[in-house]
Structure 1
Amino acid sequence: MRNVWPLLRVQLIQSLRGGIERMSGTRSRLGLLLIPLLVLAFIPFLTMMTVGYIGLYQGLKLFGRPELTLTVALTAGQLLCLVFGVFYVISVFYFSKDLKHLIPLPLRPGEIALAKLATIIMGEYLTMAPVVVPALAVYGALADVGPLYIPFAVLIFLMLPVVPLVLSALFSLVLMRVTNLRRNRDLFRVFGALIGIGFALVMQFANRFQQGSVGAADIQRIIEQQQPLVQGFSRWAVTSVWGTQALQAGSPALGIPAFLLFTGTVAAALALLVVGAERLFFGGLLGGDESASSGRRVSRSDLAQKSGQVRTPLGALLLREIRLLNRTPSFLMSGVVAPLLIPIFAFIPLASAGGPFQELDFSRFANAPWTPVVLLGILLFVNSASSIPTSAISREGRWFWISRSLPVPPRLQIHAKLLHCMLFILFNIVVLATGMAWLGLATPRNLAVVVVGGLLTGALSGYTGLLIDVMRPHLDWTDPQQAMKGNYNSLLALLANTGISLVTILAAYLIYLVARPAFLPALMALLAVETWILGRVVGDLADIRYTQYEH
């Protein structure tokens, strides 16, 4: 494996340069100066996570199990890598443009797989850090940890994504090898990845639905019977248990063996990946760049009927956006998975028997004046997490010249992209309305505000994402996943949406003080004005910028 290190160095340099360019819109290292701005976008979430972990630590400390805070965080970090790693691995392993240069070189499949896995791990650190790092910091500050805590914590964090990503990679190797010789392989790959995500969710939460949530009395009973609560997680996340034992305060004798077990598991996972790649990787690459054909012959009458259909420019552009997203598995998975997973993770604690919300009566808040505002805030947060608007132009890549040559103004293309984003917004509204009915909050007033205000906040967040992508599109990506997950426009849009939300909240509070009876209609009018202004700005900017792009 002597070729791994040179190949890894090239891959990391390429990823670093691409990351700087995506963040700053330039190849200059001065683009690193934008990183502090990206960090600002995470401050509200990091603050929320830190406060939550402090409360979790203090609550578990009452039962003598504060180290379970680490287990929860390490498990959550690995789950994120497992869920989002499936389609990311498929994209980097099989749709990267550098494969045509790597395959002719005297490199083993295992060497290529290890180098590409390392680049994926570097990207997953950003995904995992906001969930894991606050827990490590809280436990290190509040618990009586030893001198090995900081070095062990750093090493465990660096190794944490390896096992779930290797599982995702092995699943992807098998999936691509099996579906490679079949027709409509893109469809098989999308459904295969969705099945893998569903299987991971079932494995993680089946035990919760069967046995219900563990309450305070159950924890007290387990402690009285001297059954360590941490061991309850060992069936599903044994690496999290070993990481917890390695970092646990007051256990220096247990920490080193657990750390060695964790490290040995990571090494064994990498070795398993090499073996799997040697047997399956090149087989899955055969024909990977071709598209499947239906094989159906089009008659003259069918061709005349299809070519004779007339659509409005806006409708034709909308249909083009839908097909562009659906025909590329990486685009479809990145755009659809996040809106699907957020409601699932929110629904699980509500639906599970004996869940933490079973004792709360949310219906008493149904008529509170700020309830619809909170619901709109939830919608804005979910909509802001979508990468559909922030990659609407970037997804076109080197084929952007087609959009520039169309006989329609760029602002109309921007409005069509917004309508495409609104299709996902409608899904979020339906999910939230279902949750409102479950919690007893679905009053006529709340539903009307959620539907009308949800469309307005969706358009507002959509135009915000489009504004970022118009200003700094990423058109020279080498694989489709870079246009979505590797595009830092999403973080900039999150920061911009946070600023817009703060301004809107302040304006809403002033409206509430001045005209309380007309508060909700005035709030809807304020959102409509903000959306209209932002839409005009994005349209005017698109008319200028479309002729300036290099691609």
Structure 2
Amino acid sequence: MSERAGSFMKWWAVFRTLLNVNLRISYVRQMFTGDRRRLPGTLAVAGAMAWAGYVLISGYVRLLEGLYGPLRAAGQSGAILALATVGAQLAVMFPGVFWVMSSFYFSKDSALLGSLPISHRLVAAAHIGVLLIGEYATVALFLVPALAVWGVKSGAGAAYWLSAAAVFLMSPAVPLALSALAAMAIMRVANVRRYKNAIMVAGTVAFFALYLWFQYWIAAQAPATSEDMAALLMTQSESLMRLVGLRFPPAIWTSEALAYAGSARGLVGLAGTFAASLVAMAVVVLLAPKLVGAGLASTMSVEPGRRALPGSGAGEGASGLPASMWTERSAASAIALRDMRALFRTSAFALNSIANSLILPGLLAVWFLAGSGSNVFTSDIPGLETLLQSPETEPYRGLVLSGLMTLVAGMNMVAASSFSRDGAQFWMDRSIPVAVSTIVDGKARFALAFNAAAAGIMAVVVQLIVGLDAATLALAVATGLAGVLWATLLAMAIDAFRPYLTWNDPHKAMKQNLNGIAAALAVAGVLVALGWLVARAAERGVSGHVLLVAVGVAFAALAVPSGWWLVAAATNSYGRIEQ
């Protein structure tokens, strides 16, 4: 066997093992062929996730189809491609920082792989291969529907479809390189400092702040008034595509490669995309071995004064809290405080939870604040800002506010990992002489407090954008809080039903926990269904304020069975460890 073939076989063995661990392939195979006790429940969750995914993707496709006609009439249909491309690449770049650090820095297998007779480059290449699979899956959700809708609606020829395939294959390269650069900078600083977990959090926040500042600067370059924007759109074909693409500049080349496929301009865009991707992958290849080295260095150092993390087997008295916690306040409050301390003292938990809660409101805030007093979030489309400020649409703007509050609660992992974060210490809660309902109460208090705070930030940002009057704002916030209650209880119930307790590093409790995906899809699916019902009711003349109240009542009604399921699922899960 040649040396090159031998290197490939070594890479393939490491890649296959990492893929097996990350996707839990062996666990799924064992569940189908061996222990089938959890198979019905898992299949039910998978079916629900598939249905929710179908609802979301079909809704996304209908939205794209609805946008295509008006944009095509205005000569701006390429904006659909730009929106999808920017969304796909941002959806890869932001989580990519955590994915890279999880693979190279927090992973417990770095020392094991480093001891094998294989080079750091092969280990790094295997990690990159696993990362790319996850990134292609993420990109496909955003980009494939948009490519299909635009291609079918425009009657595109073979040149477009070939360009679309090439663009899809190159899409993850640039955001992966940016994520790797950010992760490498954070890891280099954290490895030589005493409080490396705190530095990891601060560095990640600084990365997000830098990107948000960039978004502010880009938005400030756009036309300052609706009149200027309308003039630009009417005088320059596909100018909106370029404005949208500025949110992630490489997306301009990508969009032009698709919108002008088969022409000289399209070839220039395709060449630019290829060049940017080639440079990006070169950066990743150069950085990857250094990331492996930084990960090995992190496994050899222990932060001074660091207390035991969840799942490490150590604790502080009963279930990891000082005795005073149990004598000075209720058991439920003590459990809530314990969960809070465990989350904020573990950088992997804190980074994932805070980032998921702040990215969307942060971007919306930047879009609102940019420009000379104009709301660029709505002024990109002439007439939309006036429509959204009219009194007739006020309750529907309130519904948007309450829906986004609910979505934030459903998207972050705090509730959806309430039980999974305990890991190997999951059994310790049953050593406390309290009922399961009390344990659930304590965990729910912290999850609700965190989600309510995240939803409050979203409410402030959306209020700055849509400008509701006091009465409608109060009603919308009340509806949103009812949605937060339901989304939190539902996410906790999903996690209690099948907690992921076998993780060996904190990032896996978040990033490899399918409960978070299931909860996000379920919440988003219900929101889409409620939106459809609201639209049908509005067509029949039902008052917008009545619909706002009805949605709040629906959220409250959904919270009741979700809470019942949560207690029942937790009782069953704790009962299994007592058998």
Alignment TM-score > 0.5, same fold: yes
Contact 1:71 1:240 in 2 (8 A): yes
Per-residue CA shift, 1:104-128, capped at 9, x if unaligned? Answer: 0133333222221221222223333
Aligned counterpart for 1:331 among listed residues 349, 371, 381: 349
Give the equivalent residue in structure 1 for 2:313: none
Find 1:461's aligned residue among 487, 490, 495: 487
1:300 maps to which residue? none
Structure 2, unaligned runs of 5 or more: 1-6, 308-316, 380-384
Is the Cα contact below 8 Å between 2:68 and 2:80 reproduced in 1?
yes
1:220 aligns with 2:234: yes
Residues 134 and 382 of structure 1, relative CA distance in 2, 3 Å threshold? same
**Identity percentage over the alignment?**
28
Structure 2 counterpart of 1:392, one-letter code: S
Aligned position for 2:437: 411
Tell me the distance in 2 between the aligned counterparts of 1:514 and 1:114: 58
Range with bigger deviation, 462-471 or 358-367: 358-367
Which of 356, 370, 374 in structure 2 is aligned with 1:352?
Answer: 370
Q: Contact (CA 8 Å) 1:25, 1:472: kept in 2 or not?
A: no
Moved more, 124-133 or 207-216: 207-216
Structure 2 residue corresponding to 1:183, chosen from 181, 194, 197: 194
Count of residue pairs brought into register by the alignment: 538
- The residue number in structure 2 matching 1:87 is 98
2:475 is matched with which residue: 423, 435, 449? 449
2:30 and 2:569 map into 1 onto residues whose CA distance is 20
Structure 1 pair 333–24 and aligned structure 2 pair: CA distance change class (3 A): farther
The more displaced of 260-269 and 231-240 is 231-240
Could you tell me whether the CA contact under 8 Å between 1:508 and 1:523 is conserved in 2? Answer: no
Q: 2:233 corresponds to which letter in structure 1?
A: I
Contact 2:483 2:552 (C-alpha < 8 Å) held by counterparts? no
C-alpha separation in 1, matches of 2:487 and 2:389? 29
2:340 is the counterpart of 1:322: yes
1:194 is matched with which residue? 205
Alignment pair present for 1:531 and 2:559: yes
Deviations 1:160-190 (A, max 9, x none): 1122112211221222122112111001001
Equivalent residue number for residue 568 of structure 2: 540
Cα 1:250–1:435, aligned 2, differ >3 Å: closer, same or farther?
closer
Q: Aligned equivalents of 2:552 and 2:76: distance in 1?
A: 48
2:497 matched residue in structure 1: 471
Counterpart of 2:122 (choices 84, 99, 111) is 111
Instruction: Give the stretch that moved more between structures: 249-258 or 162-171.
Output: 249-258
**In the alignment, residue 9 of structure 1 is paired with which amino acid?**
R
State the Cα distance separating 1:221 from its structure 2 match.
Answer: 3.5
Distance 1:287 1:134 in 2: 41
Partner of 1:299: none
Alpha carbons of structure 1 residues 543 and 284: separation in structure 2 relative to 1, 3 Å:
closer
Please name the residue that 1:266 is paired with: 277
Measured in 2, the distance between the counterparts of 1:66 and 1:542 equals: 50
**For 1:314-368, what per-residue CA distance to the aligned partner results, in whole angstroms no more than 9, with x for missing partners?**
1110111101111222211221112211222333443333425354264543896
1:240 is matched by which residue type in structure 2? A
Distance 1:290 1:527, change over 3 A: same
Whether contact under 8 Å (1:410, 1:539) holds in the other structure is yes
Which stretch has the larger CA shift, 62-71 or 323-332? 62-71
> Which segment is superposed worse, 107-116 or 63-72?
63-72
Matching residue within 153, 156, 162 for 2:164: 153
CA contact (8 A) 1:110 1:278 kept: yes
1:96-146 deviations in Å (ceiling 9; x for gaps): 222232010133333222221221222223333332122111121122423
Deviates most, 95-104 or 233-242: 233-242
Query: Given the two structures, how large is their TM-score scaled by the length of structure 1?
Result: 0.83
Structure 2 equivalent of residue 129 of structure 1: 140
Query: Which moves more between the two structures, 460-469 or 277-286?
Result: 277-286
- The amino acid across from 1:490 in the alignment is G
Q: Does 1:5 align with 2:12?
A: yes
Q: Give me the whole-angstrom Cα distance separating, in 1, the residues matched to 2:154 and 2:268.
A: 21
Further displaced range: 199-208 or 254-263: 254-263
Shift of 1:495: 4.5
More divergent stretch after superposition (83-92 vs 399-408): 399-408
In the TM superposition, 1:424-503 aligns within 5 A as 424-427=450-453, 428-433=455-460, 435-436=462-463, 439-444=466-471, 446-497=472-523, 502=529
Aligned equivalent of 2:413, options 387, 393, 396:
387
Q: Gaps (5+ residues) in structure 1?
A: 297-302
Q: What amino acid is aligned across from residue 4 of structure 1 in structure 2? A: W
The CA deviation at 1:313 is 0.7
Sort the Cα spacing of 1:257 and 1:458 in 2 relative to 1 into closer, same or farther, 3 A. closer
Q: Give 1:458 shift.
A: 1.6
Q: Which moved more, 1:531-540 or 1:116-125?
A: 531-540
1:475–1:307: structure 2 CA closer, same or farther, 3 Å change rule? closer
Question: C-alpha offsets along residues 180-203 of structure 1, whole Å, 9 cap, x if unaligned?
Answer: 121110010011011112212322
